[in-house]
């Protein structure tokens, strides 16, 4: 058996122990906030000079303002340089992601009410979006697709990508993904300094209207601090998964459990079952898989520090535990997942059935894999086309319509002590000659 925490809803202190493991690494520490605040201030004040200094310090390569940008021709070169199987997979993923996100497009609308006012909503894209693509412990070309494709579908005309390049090394698949997904400009920068450059702009990097995409705790803290100067999608933390099954294949379930654990030591994997024997079998299978994984050290640390195997008495308890966790990824690996699905209120992405591993959603299914973490699925949603658009309200009225609703507005304005508000309406209701 492994050293993964065992919990049961029958335990008197179950909720307290569950909450304890749900409190993982976050970006709220004073040390992180202070470091990030300094980086943001330096880049805002000194632009490219500070950006290059931080890139050399944190990514280990000496750059100059004219070497920060990755030319578009270099993206195209990478596309043609990767193997045909790489291109085929990226093209299929791009096609499927686009098809899914095209269904998210919203239309502008108007209607005229009984009083004669015409009201509506206008949907417009942001002018410029900044995409943060992780590039530390692993490279994620699919993160490029998941960020860039919905931005394109939304109609964003300027898509700017930043990606860390440790020791100056770029990942060819990431660059190829940037090319096929239509990134307009790309920069070899990462960390809080890249967020600062996107938020404030430098001589080389244009300021954007919204920053999207996941990163480490320094990136998360930076996004939190620049919010207001520009928009952000969410504060993304370490990855997480909850796998639920009462009769699944232990080897499959264990692999699903480890699929997020291998991301990062701070990632979290939880298995929930009504079947105590299955929990034992999954535990053994996890230990067996760990011995073969190249990222065994990371996966084991994640599983033993943040993971849990939870026994519940019935599916109703399973639903309660799931909704409390509000996981980023939720697998209902069951013969009939629709029995449980109606009771799930909080989850970023839900995978139904025995053959839908979370990895299918990561790469090729179509829905976005940039998802709310750290229980934020209680109030947040996956990245989508709507993250790259804005809504403007529309109001049209002639004097006849104003005569019907205007007096009530005038009354409310006077009640709030805002006489100029009232006057602006009163004058319009007077005869034009007066």
- Which residues is 349 bridged to in the sheet? 329
Residue 27 pLDDT greater than 80, yes or no:
no
Catalytic residue IDs = 328-329
The reported pLDDT for the residue numbered 215 is: 87
> 42 pLDDT band (50/70/90 cuts)?
very high
228 burial via Cβ count (<10 Å: 0-12, 13-18, 19+): exposed
Residue 278 pLDDT greater than 80, yes or no:
yes
99-148 confidence digits (pLDDT tens): 999 999 999 999 999 999 999 999 999 999 999 998 755 678 999 999 99
The reported pLDDT for the residue numbered 136 is: 58
Residue 208 pLDDT greater than 60, yes or no:
yes
> 236 pLDDT band (50/70/90 cuts)?
confident
The reported pLDDT for the residue numbered 77 is: 98
Domains within the chain, CATH numbers bracketed: 5-25+238-365 (3.40.50.1980), 30-235 (3.40.50.1980), 397-429 (no CATH)
Q: Which residues contact 285 (CB under 8 A, 6 or more apart)?
A: 250, 251, 253, 254, 255
The reported pLDDT for the residue numbered 114 is: 97
User: 416: how many CB neighbours lie within 10 A of its CB?
Assistant: 10
CB of 326 closer than 8 Å to CB of 346:
yes
Which of the listed ranges 58-62, 194-198, 429-433 does the model predict with the highest average pLDDT? 194-198
Query: For the chain, what is the mean pLDDT?
Result: 95
CB of 421 closer than 8 Å to CB of 187:
no
CB of 310 closer than 8 Å to CB of 321:
yes
The reported pLDDT for the residue numbered 434 is: 53
Higher pLDDT among residues 168 and 269, named by residue:
269
Summarize the confidence of residues 396-425 as an average pLDDT: 97
Over pLDDT 90: what percentage of the chain? 91
> 432 pLDDT band (50/70/90 cuts)?
low
Residue 303 pLDDT greater than 80, yes or no:
yes
Summarize the confidence of residues 305-330 as an average pLDDT: 97
CA angle, 262 then 315 then 331, to 5°: 30
CB of 236 closer than 8 Å to CB of 214:
yes
Residue 433 pLDDT greater than 70, yes or no:
no
Summarize the confidence of residues 360-364 as an average pLDDT: 96
Over pLDDT 70: what percentage of the chain? 97
The reported pLDDT for the residue numbered 30 is: 77
The reported pLDDT for the residue numbered 139 is: 76
- Tokens in use for 212? 């999207």
The reported pLDDT for the residue numbered 138 is: 63
DSSP secondary structure letters along 251-290:
HHHHHHHHHHHTT-TT-EEEEEES-HHHHHHHHHHHHHHH
Residue 358 pLDDT greater than 70, yes or no:
yes
The reported pLDDT for the residue numbered 262 is: 94
């Amino acid at each position: 058996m492994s050293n993964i925490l065992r919990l049961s809803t029958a335990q008197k202190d179950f909720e307290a122990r569950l909450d304890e493991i749900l409190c993982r690494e976050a970006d709220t520490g004073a040390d992180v906030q202070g470091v990030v605040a300094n980086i943001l201030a330096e880049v805002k004040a000194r632009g490219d000079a500070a950006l290059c200094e931080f890139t050399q310090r944190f990514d280990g390569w000496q750059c100059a303002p004219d070497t920060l940008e990755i030319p578009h021709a270099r993206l195209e070169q990478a596309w043609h340089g990767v193997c045909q199987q790489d291109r085929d997979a990226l093209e299929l993923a791009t096609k499927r992601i686009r098809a899914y996100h095209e269904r998210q497009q919203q239309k502008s609308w108007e209607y005229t009410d009984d009083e004669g006012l015409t009201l509506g909503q206008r949907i417009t894209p942001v002018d410029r979006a900044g995409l943060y693509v992780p590039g530390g412990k692993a490279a994620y070309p699919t993160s490029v697709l998941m960020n860039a494709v919905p931005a394109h579908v939304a109609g964003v005309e300027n898509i700017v990508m930043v990606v860390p390049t440790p020791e100056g090394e770029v990942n060819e698949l990431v660059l190829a993904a940037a090319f096929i997904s239509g990134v307009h400009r790309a920069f070899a920068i990462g960390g809080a300094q890249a967020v600062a450059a996107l938020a404030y702009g430098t001589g080389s990097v244009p300021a954007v209207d919204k920053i999207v995409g996941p990163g480490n705790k320094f990136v998360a803290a930076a996004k939190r601090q620049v919010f207001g100067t520009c928009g952000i999608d969410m504060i993304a933390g370490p990855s997480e998964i909850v796998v639920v099954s009462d009769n699944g294949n232990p080897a499959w379930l264990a692999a699903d459990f480890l699929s997020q654990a291998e991301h990062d030591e701070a990632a979290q994997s939880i298995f929930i079952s009504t079947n105590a024997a299955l929990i034992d079998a999954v535990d053994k299978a996890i230990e067996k898989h760990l011995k073969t994984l190249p990222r065994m050290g990371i996966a084991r640390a994640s599983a033993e520090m943040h993971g849990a195997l939870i026994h519940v008495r019935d599916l109703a308890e399973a639903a309660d535990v799931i909704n409390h966790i509000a996981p980023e990824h939720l697998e209902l690996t069951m013969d009939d997942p629709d029995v449980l699905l109606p009771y799930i209120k909080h989850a970023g992405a839900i995978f139904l059935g025995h053959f839908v591993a979370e990895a299918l959603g990561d790469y090729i299914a179509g829905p976005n894999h940039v998802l709310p973490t750290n229980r934020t699925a209680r109030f947040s949603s996956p990245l989508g086309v709507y993250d790259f658009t804005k809504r403007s309200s529309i109001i049209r009225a002639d004097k006849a319509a104003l005569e019907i609703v205007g007096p009530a507005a005038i009354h409310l304005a006077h009640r709030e002590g805002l006489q100029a508000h009232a006057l602006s309406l009163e004058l319009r209701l007077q005869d034009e000659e007066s």
